Structure 1
Amino acid sequence: MPITIHGIKNCDTMKKARAWLEAHGIAHDFHDYKAKGIDGATLKAWAGKVGWEKLLNRSGTTFRKLPDAQKEGITEAQALALMEEQPSMIKRPVLALGDRLVVGFDSGEYERAVATLPRD
């Protein structure tokens, strides 16, 4: 099963997540959505699996710099458009394990997620 970790190269949380995967011998691809972008269809599919609220990085400086009027009452369509336009607004990392997504990094959650992977 292909495993892809999505995020931003220089993010500290991304570095921890990638180091965890490497330390556990989990082969994976890396998609830097700040450098390569992310398409709206992918974001919509992710939102369908985990919810757009979980994907939106409200604690990041990019979101916090938005005018209050834009942040208040934000809808799914608005959030997805913002994340597509400014991928820094996507919480990271997003770990894709086939049809399963893990958003954010928690070593326990990663441990549980990889435990379900088929072994060679």
Structure 2
Amino acid sequence: MNIQIIGTKNCNDTKKAERFFKERRIPFHFRDLNEKGLSKGELENIIRKISLEDLLDKEGKQFKKRNLQFMVFNLEEELLNDPLLLKTPIVRNGTEVTIGYQPEVWKNWK
């Protein structure tokens, strides 16, 4: 397994995802969205499995702070330019991708 957890250090679901893999002694790479967002290629790989609409955190602080609910915008462009708009954690294992805390899915990953 080649696990990558993409999120923020202060996100509770991201912390739970890290704990899930640590408890099972499964190595993972963590990427903090406060430090580095997604590249265009990474986003394209993720949207093969999960729609852009599902990636946008409409309940998040950043979405509300920027008043995006009142605007028309290019979703892909906004997610690339402002990674804090993403729902977290995004957990990747090769071509498999999940959003949020989903231990029932991760248990079946080989």
1:12-62 CA-to-partner distances (Å, cap 9, x unmatched) read 111111011111221111111221222122112211221111111111011
> Which one has a bigger Cα radius of gyration?
1
CA RMSD of aligned residues (A): 1.7
Distance apart, 1:2 and its partner CA: 1.6
The alignment's TM-score, normalised by the length of structure 1, stands at: 0.80
SS at match of 2:58: coil
Say how many residue pairs are matched: 109
Counterpart of 1:104 in structure 2 is 100
Structure richer in helix, relative to its length: 1
Q: Distance in 1 between matches of 2:75 and 2:97?
A: 19
Counterpart of 1:89 in structure 2 is 85
The alignment's TM-score, normalised by the length of structure 2, stands at: 0.86
Give the letter aligned to residue 10 of structure 1: N
Greater mean deviation of Cα atoms: 94-103 or 58-67: 58-67
Structure 1: unaligned runs, 5 residues or longer: none
SS at match of 1:50: coil
Identity of aligned residues (%): 26
The 8 Å contact of residues 93 and 103 in structure 1, kept in 2 or not, is answered as yes
Counterpart of 1:14 in structure 2 is 14
